[in-house]
Chain A
């Protein structure tokens, strides 16, 4: 027998594990965003010039733009399958708190996309000849930043879920909300490269992440209650 309290916890872990096991063999969830990210980086020298020296100054910006785009592409379908096969409706009518399983899904999404991006980012920084002191801040900023992007992106993804492929609607609505994280994320790397105290922008990113963690799962749950159960 479970008491109501443990049932909430099961909501989180069950959905966290469910997402992980669903995606374990899926190329789509983890590898594709990374490939996309690297291809985007590879296009930039072709468009500008093969002179690697000039990249070190714009590398933080390029890294963050590619992370944002990859995260954007992957967040679009986070709720689509659950919406299509009806398990989202099952969640809505179940007695447990809806925000818990949604938070589990989001954490799983971050583990599957954000964390690999952060771990793979040194390769990107390497080809863009980012100075060595920028590596650690870059990884940390991507770890924190992608979690924020997943959380905030999921709010807009929950609005567009009934459209299936929303096309341009998701990017249009979500990119303005991503701007603070782009600013502070690239600033973290910039500060580290130019020898300034880089923990300050990183701390602001952490603050934003805490705020998003508190608000976004509840917001997504509320949106589903508003829009799916009329």
Chain B
């Protein structure tokens, strides 16, 4: 089997996913175009050599509908022979696109594939796509559907993460992210979003708050208590009957930020590398997905990384840095406990609580972030993982070359 090499990774800064966010004035198509142009431009790509563009997008309707990958590829001025594929595995989409690209080049059916993802959460709000998971009451009933925030609080309840645990984690995420920006650690991958005429729209992650404090977070009320009271707590208890009630600890401050953003990763096999004449930065050692109990929904990252490590013939201890999507603080706390990895090697530059989680793009962003940091620290192996709705996890393990 061929090897899949990562040649480059870029991302946009993440704008607040609200009307007042800097990227609200930029369409998701434009966001995707920004990263596709950037990755082509800085690698002097002959785009006719690219076999396919695979973009994750979790709410693929309206402006993000009708295969945004193909439309963005055309809009970015790629050769018309380059096809586009939009993929959706909920929050895992941006890493799934990487894994699909890797699989394509590993199999030798493609040589050069661009992976990535895009989500303008300010313009195409979460859940705009409907779907049976939430909209079909027959399924809602049968699957014990519970909103994610309640699942995150359920993790707290089952494994005794208190309010201070999750808030402290959030404070640290902001501290690390702010420090990383100050130190210029993201500058290698972040591509500013500018207008066609060159006017700057955004060049930094808007969601980071360097001054986030435990006291400040302590003032926020649990965000999912009312939703839980409306009946969803009871549903979760039907699945987890040994606990009396759900302790609600999550709020906007210790959950991932709602943001707009896009990312792209250039992936090729040895033949592709030869064609492009570029130097690979890392190879993809393995990737995996795992389904988990769908009511608690967010606990699959650890088994996914374990599965990927097994495929790669590695131990968890062989992984130098972990990027675990901070969907909610409890997700990462649980991950660290399950795999017994210290916080010092997990999300070392902060995570989605501070930087934001543009759903379809996040997986690709994590991959670029861990690669940049492996290079900066001169380490070898990194793992990226995300939890996804309806009880899924995804992982990719990379190794520098």
A-B complex is real: no
A contact set with B: CB distance below 8 Å: none
Interface residues of B (CB under 8 A from A): none
